[in-house]
Amino acid sequence: SNHLSDRIKNMSTSATLAMAAKARELRNEGKDIIGLSLGEPDFNIPDFIKDAAKQAIDENYSSYTPVDGYAELKTAISNKFKRDNNLDYGANQIVVSTGAKQSLFNVAMVVLNPGDEVILPAPYWVSYSDIVKLAEGVPVEVPTQIDTDFKMTPQQLEAAITPKTRMLWFSSPCNPSGSVYSEKELEGLAEVLKKHPDIYVVSDEIYEHINFTEGGHTSIAGIDGMYDRTVTVNGVSKAFAMTGWRIGYIGAPEWIAKGCTKLQGQVTSGANAIAQRAVITALDAPVSKIQFMIDKFHERRDLVLGLLGEIEGFNLNVPEGAFYVFPDISAYFGKTLKDVTINNASDFSLYLLEHANVATVTGEAFGNPNCIRISYAASEKELKEAISRIKAVL
Ligand code: PLP
């Protein structure tokens, strides 16, 4: 392993996947672990999507696909962008990839030169920072506060911009905080960016549909002046419970889409054929077909907030989307529980795993060392049991 590249040596392992592996290990040892660490819906894929995949197999969709995705899928994506986001993306602006994670990696590789700075409002999704580093960019974390619902203010953005700033990456609804930027808040950020025309934005909208606000979802690409400098990232993992099918996509300025296609042509040759066919059906369906999942997540959010609110030392805000809560548990730092001294969020998360048999993720992985992330993509029964165990060991 001495001969591992510096690139891999310097990379962190995905904390969420590492926690899932640890939970699996303890489960194999016979422990009854409740896993609230993964960002994975606990629903089955709707049957109409499964049927489309079966049909694709029978119809022999088994050859290499076009590198940037089937034309019919790009049409479905284009229609979806128009229908849900009022965005006009033509086929030459759309690239289908092996999950939104690959879409993000492609964009980093295509836009960043070594030393280019990427602003990441923290907390941010766990992989942003390592993807940026892989592309030899420099992540610049902008810490946000719980009293602004972990959202970056225009002033904070302005203060973080340097002559080297090349991009801003954020997710709304946000993983891990569940925060949703309103249209007005996005306009505030766009106002700052207007003064810096060379900065590009990655808007990760993978939780778009899991949004409990009255105002609904706003895409920053739709805000005045932003369309030509925004990459809108989306996928089917979260809304359609299709995490393992690995399909994500972008709508982007044509030069970025072309770059991503060029890169992908040398790396994966394109996304899985069967999954692409199934996603055509998924995206063509009205959002009402998945409303039951969204309603369930909403109920669970309220349940979890209520139960966690009864535990001393949990400072919570109200997440407005996605399926996570991100409590500040720094009140526990310096305390000793069952002979374990809690010095940081990682200690706290490990303590919950070992003593309450509940898997969560440390906020450190998301750029906030005072919080932990708890996923509520689990059954009500599991959530109640997990939180009562947490309460008992604190
Ligand atoms: N972006 C965010 C904010 C996510 O939470 C995730 C998955 O956890 C992804 C992107 C990646 O999604 P995909 O499964 O499409 O690669």
Q: Give distance in angstroms: CA of 206 to centre of ligand 1.
A: 6
Residue 290: predicted pLDDT: 87
Residue 319: predicted pLDDT: 97
Q: What is the mean pLDDT of residues 166-181?
A: 97
Q: Give distance in angstroms: CA of 176 to centre of ligand 1.
A: 11
Q: Is 101 in the pocket of ligand 1 (CB under 6 A)?
A: yes
User: What is the torsional sign of CA 240, 187, 94, 129?
Assistant: negative
Residue 14: predicted pLDDT: 77
Q: For residue 207, what are its two tokens?
A: 């939780």
Query: At 156, phi and psi to the nearest 5?
Result: -65, -40
Residue 39: predicted pLDDT: 79
Q: Is 243 in the pocket of ligand 1 (CB under 6 A)?
A: yes
Residue 193: CB atoms within 10 Å: 24
Q: Identify which of 238, 246, 276 to mutate to test ligand 1's pocket (most ligand atoms within 8 A of the CB).
A: 238
Q: Is 99 in the pocket of ligand 1 (CB under 6 A)?
A: yes
Residue 12: predicted pLDDT: 83
| Average pLDDT of every residue of the chain | 95
- Tokens 């993964």 identify what position? 38
Per-residue pLDDT at 15 exceeds 80: no
Percent pLDDT > 70 in the chain is 100
Residue 253: predicted pLDDT: 98
Residue 309: CB atoms within 10 Å: 11
Tell me the per-residue pLDDT of 108-134, one tens digit each, with 9 for 90 and over: 999 999 999 999 999 999 899 999 999
Tell me the per-residue pLDDT of 200-252, one tens digit each, with 9 for 90 and over: 999 999 999 999 999 999 999 999 999 999 999 999 999 899 999 999 999 99
Tell me if residue 126 falls in helix, strand or coil.
coil
Cα dihedral 299, 126, 237, 42 in deg (nearest 10) = -40
Q: Is 323 in the pocket of ligand 1 (CB under 6 A)?
A: no
Q: What is the mean pLDDT of residues 167-179?
A: 97
Q: What is the mean pLDDT of residues 92-116?
A: 98
Q: Is 349 in the pocket of ligand 1 (CB under 6 A)?
A: no
Tell me the per-residue pLDDT of 132-147, one tens digit each, with 9 for 90 and over: 999 999 999 999 999 8
Q: What is the mean pLDDT of residues 155-160?
A: 98
User: What is the torsional sign of CA 45, 272, 243, 109?
Assistant: negative
Amino acid at 250: I
Is the pTM value of this prediction over 0.90? yes
Q: What DSSP character marks residue 65?
A: P
The full set of domains in the chain, from first to last, is 6-44+290-393 (3.90.1150.10), 48-286 (3.40.640.10)
Q: Identify which of 120, 175, 268 to mutate to test ligand 1's pocket (most ligand atoms within 8 A of the CB).
A: 175
**Which atom of ligand 1 has the smallest separation from the CA of 40?**
8
Q: Give distance in angstroms: CA of 100 to centre of ligand 1.
A: 6
Q: What is the mean pLDDT of residues 73-96?
A: 98
ipTM surpassing 0.95, yes or no?
Answer: yes
Which residues in 108-131 are b (16+ Cβ under 10 Å) and which e? bbbbbeeebbbbbbbbbbbbbbbb
Return d(Cα 8, Cα 71) in angstroms, integer. Answer: 36
Tell me if 131 sits within 8 A of 123, measured CB to CB.
no
DSSP string, 6-52: HHHHTSPPPHHHHHHHHHHHHHHTT---EE-------SPPPHHHHHH
